[in-house]
Structures are given as structure tokens and as C-alpha cells.
Amino acid sequence: MMLDGMHGSKANGSSTGGGNEDPESSESVKDARVRKPPRHLSVIRHSVSTARLGLDLGTLALISPQERQTGFLPVFRSGSCSEIGPKSHMEDEHICIDNLVEHLRASPSFPSPGAFYGVFDGHGGVDAAYFVRNNILKYIIEDGHFPSSVEKAIKSAFIKADYALADSHSLDRTSGTTALTALILGRSLLIANAGDCRAVLGKRGRAIELSRDHKPNCNAERLRIEKLGGSVYDGYLNGQLSVARALGDWHMKGSKGSACPLSAEPELQEAILTEEDEFLVIGCDGLWDVMSSQCAVTITRKELMLHNDPEKCSRELVREALKRNTCDNLTVVVICFTPDPPPPIEIPRTRVRRSISLEGLHVLKGALDGNI
């Protein structure tokens, strides 16, 4: 697929990079690799799904949520688009899995439907973003808290990925990445965010933010940073980094396990999907720097009503961000929860009752009688 002279493919937006994988999972992610085009080309990449990680979940026993038996059940379909933008290198990564059971070759007891999505905004090189993209789902599924406590499993997986970046001898320790993941099991949508990527739910045309941007000058983050001995200078953590949470960046952290102003711990937010929840937009800050959450939802809904194609929606969001002169790489994923396009929003017409005073009636009567 070509767009404005830029190269595109149906790949999942992953790059290849030597030594960027967990050695134990090299075989697991082998099929998920997609070679990036040369760095000097302006590249738009699209994704509708991703290859299997090949995890062995045959013995995993999960109880399907009650939503599977009654009520609304989402049907997942997604599309994505990435653009290098005005930068010289592409450091974003993303992953789209519309069917977890098929992807993981899981047992029939695995919650269904299930899906997993993520966006990862790298800095200081692509090593950290590529590594986390390739390993975060594996770390979640293999964590001892899964599936009894999915929230704990996700938090543990983020920390494990962060520590793996510290221990690696083949990855650049100065490389870092923000990370936002969306894990959906049945009707339960769980967003985990560390950094300034964002997740926005489209609910009958309204934008519902499901994540908080972790900027150093955010009050809550500033207080946490200063309490741990850090500082915020001109919007930058310790005058170096424009985000307050990230994985990697071990040149800015102390020893593993020590409290650090730059945190890898994600914030989690859960939502139970209903018929009113039409789609989810997740993206790196290259989109949100130039576009409000409501604007993104409005554009996405309008596009879905026209062609019902989430990939075209992601492309349109990227186009619009480029028109608005974004200064960063762009990565956008649009996830729909039904096979149908959003319905038109009907605003009920209210019956307005008009009244007239007694004096007004007299004036009107006189005018009709020709007396005034």
C-alpha cells in the first residue's frame, strides 16, 4: 500500500534489531519480526494484526468472564499506521493482536474474546521500544499472578521488562521507551500506561480518556519526582527527559529495586465495555501533541461511518497530525468493538411550549381587530 509516495505494508510495524530480544523468547517472536525500510525513507506502516508469539498456554486454565454467557460481547478488528514524521529516525513500535486465543494457541478455557494492543515510543535509539514490544505480552502471560490477578501480572511484566533492559549486554542502556498496552478479556478492557502515550475510548461520539500523560510538570508526577530527590527543569525530568515514566534509560536510574524519580511502574485503568463503546484509539505523543482526544474521536467516528475501516481511520489521523505540523514520529492504532459502523447520533427534538401573558393576548387581540 502506498501513500503520498511513502512505503507501506500490512506488517505490524515492528523493526528488526540485533540483540533486542529476550534470549529465552527469540524463537517465540521470530515470526513477529518485520524488517524496517531504510531509515532515510519516510515510512508509513500499517497493521491489521500481528504474527503469533507461539507461547505454550495449553495447560493454562482461566475462567471465562460472565459476560461471555450473557449480554454484549465485543468483536475486535483493528488497523494501525506509523509515520516517521519530521524526525530522521523511526523509534516508535506497536503491536496488534485481534484474537488472543488463536495467537497464543491457548486452551479453550482461555477467556474469549480476547485481544492485545500496544504502542511504544522509543527515545535514545529503538532498542528499548523494540525489546518491550516483543516481550511484554510474554511477560504478562507467564507471570505468576496471571490469570488470578491480571493487574498485578501487568505491573510485574512492566518491571520485568525494565530490569531485562538493565541486565542485557546487547542493548543500549541509554535507550528508553514509554509503553501503553490494552488487554481485553471478554468485556474487560485494561489499560496500562507508563509515559505519555494515550488511550481514548469513543463512546457514542464522546471521548473518554483511559490514561494519564506522565509529563514531569504534571502535579502528581512532579510531587513524586521531588519526593524521590529528582527535579523538574523547564518541563524535563532532571533536565534530561520529557517524560516522568519510562522503561529503560538506565543511565538515569540507580540500582534495580531502588526508588527512582524515573519510574517504570504503569498506571492501570479498567473499563467494562458496553454497546455504547464503539472504538479505542491509542497513540504515541506525536498524535496527542497536536490533537485533542475529542478531535481524534470525532475524526475516527466520521471516518468509520464513511468506510468502516479502522486502518483508513488510523491513516487519516496520521495525515491530520502531519498537517498540523507534529514534530515527532507518529503511531496510531484504532480498535473497533463491533463489525458494524457507528450509527448516526440522533438528537431528540424537544417540544417547546410557548406561552403568552394576558397582557400580550390583549395586545394581539387589538392588533387583529385593527384597534392598534
Average pLDDT (129-158) is 96
Chain-wide mean pLDDT for the chain?
A: 84
CA distances to 41, 55, 99, 278 from 15, rounded to whole Å, are 14, 21, 22, 30
Q: How far apart are CA 208 and CA 293, in angstroms?
A: 8
What confidence score (pLDDT) does residue 367 get?
A: 73
> Tell me, what's the pLDDT at 306?
98
**DSSP 3-state percent helix, strand, coil across the chain (nearest 5):** 25, 25, 50
Percent of the chain with pLDDT over 90: 69
Dihedral angle, C-alpha 293, 299, 305, 308, nearest 10 °: -80
Among 52-56, 104-108, 175-179, 193-197, the least confident range: 52-56
What pLDDT is attached to residue 46?
Answer: 44
Q: What are the tens digits of pLDDT across the range 257-274?
A: 899 999 999 999 999 999
Given a cut of 90, whether residue 109 has pLDDT beyond it is no
Question: Grid coordinates in use for 367?
Answer: 392588533
Is residue 10's pLDDT more than 70? Answer: no
What confidence score (pLDDT) does residue 71 get? 79
Instruction: Reply yes or no on whether the pLDDT at 117 is more than 50.
Output: yes
Per-residue pLDDT tens over the stretch 15-50: 334 445 554 444 444 444 333 333 333 344 444 444
pLDDT band at 97 (very low <50, low <70, confident <90, very high): very high
Question: Model pTM greater than 0.75?
Answer: yes
**pLDDT tens readout for residues 289-345:** 999 999 999 999 999 999 999 999 999 999 999 999 999 999 999 999 999 999 998
**For 2-214+241-343, CATH number?**
3.60.40.10
CA 334, CA 99: separation in Å to the nearest integer?
A: 15
